[in-house]
């Protein structure tokens, strides 16, 4: 299996690049943000709980997203691999993911970390708010809270995987195709 984590701050292009990567490598896309928005749209108890947290730009509890990912792994047996987007976002989520994959006799192959400056992140998310319909994209205070949360809780995920020599840093500024090529180069290097 080829299991990849696409890592980076909010607005770094994970969603855009994920779509291209899953098509090229035949992977199953697992985005906890998308899974949570689906729960909100269908008004499940989990969705109602998550909505209030996401509207503040904060992370939903680890056990909630770990449970969602665990179910998604069980529902997708026999795939070529998974592309994790927006997960793991804390050290506890990283440890849980490693254990879940180990139970399935597999592991994370590579962590691709997109690097984008803060001003560019804010401007991209504000631009995305025109079409995304996401409340958390439309308000600059919420965008900033998400970036603060990223520095406080999520940036450590990169350090966690660095210990296992799995991280490749990629410049996330430039054209979509340039960034995609750089990501593919790292994946192809890993595969060869
Ligand atoms: P972005 O990367 O642009 O912030 P996402 O769709 O990945 O967009 O996440 C949107 C929101 O969903 C986050 O701000 C957070 O509240 C929640 N969320 C998504 N993934 C996780 C996760 N792995 N752990 C906790 N909260 C999450």
* Domain limits, the chain: 4-27+79-191
Per residue of the chain (192 residues), what is the pLDDT tens digit?
A: 999 999 999 999 999 999 999 999 999 999 999 999 999 999 999 999 999 999 999 999 999 999 999 999 999 999 999 999 999 999 999 999 999 999 999 999 999 999 999 999 999 999 999 999 999 999 999 999 999 999 999 999 999 999 999 999 999 999 999 999 999 999 999 999
Taking the centre of ligand 1 as the mean of its atom positions, its distance from the CA of residue 192, in whole angstroms, is 33
User: Would you call 32 exposed, middle or buried from its count of C-beta atoms within 10 A (0-12, 13-18, 19+)?
Assistant: buried
State residue 165 phi and psi, 5-degree precision: 60, 35
Query: How far apart are alpha carbons 105 and 39 in whole angstroms?
Result: 29
**Pocket around ligand 1: residues whose beta carbon is below 6 Å from it?**
10-11, 14, 32-33, 36, 53-54, 57-60, 65, 86-87, 89, 93, 136, 146
Instruction: Check residue 149 and give its pLDDT.
Output: 97
Atom of ligand 1 nearest to the CA of 93: 23
Task: Give the CATH class of 4-27+79-191.
Answer: alpha beta
The pTM is what? 0.96
């Amino acid at each position: 299996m080829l299991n990849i984590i696409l890592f980076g701050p909010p607005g770094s292009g994970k969603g855009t690049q994920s779509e291209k990567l899953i098509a090229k490598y035949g992977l199953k896309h697992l985005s906890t943000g998308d899974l949570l928005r689906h729960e909100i749209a269908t008004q499940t108890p989990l969705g109602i709980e998550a909505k209030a947290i996401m509207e503040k730009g904060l992370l939903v509890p680890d056990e909630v997203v770990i449970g969602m990912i665990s179910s998604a792994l069980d529902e997708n047996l026999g795939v070529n691999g998974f592309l994790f987007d927006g997960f793991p976002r804390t050290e506890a989520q990283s440890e849980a993911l490693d254990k879940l994959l180990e139970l399935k006799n597999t592991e994370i192959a590579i962590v691709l970390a997109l690097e984008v400056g803060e001003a560019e992140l804010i401007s991209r998310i504000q631009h995305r708010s025109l079409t995304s319909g996401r409340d958390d994209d439309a308000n600059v205070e919420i965008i900033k809270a998400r970036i603060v949360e990223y520095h406080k809780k999520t940036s450590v995920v990169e350090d966690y995987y660095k210990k296992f020599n799995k991280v490749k840093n990629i410049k996330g500024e430039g054209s979509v195709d340039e960034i995609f090529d750089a990501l593919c180069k790292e994946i192809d290097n890993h595969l060869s």
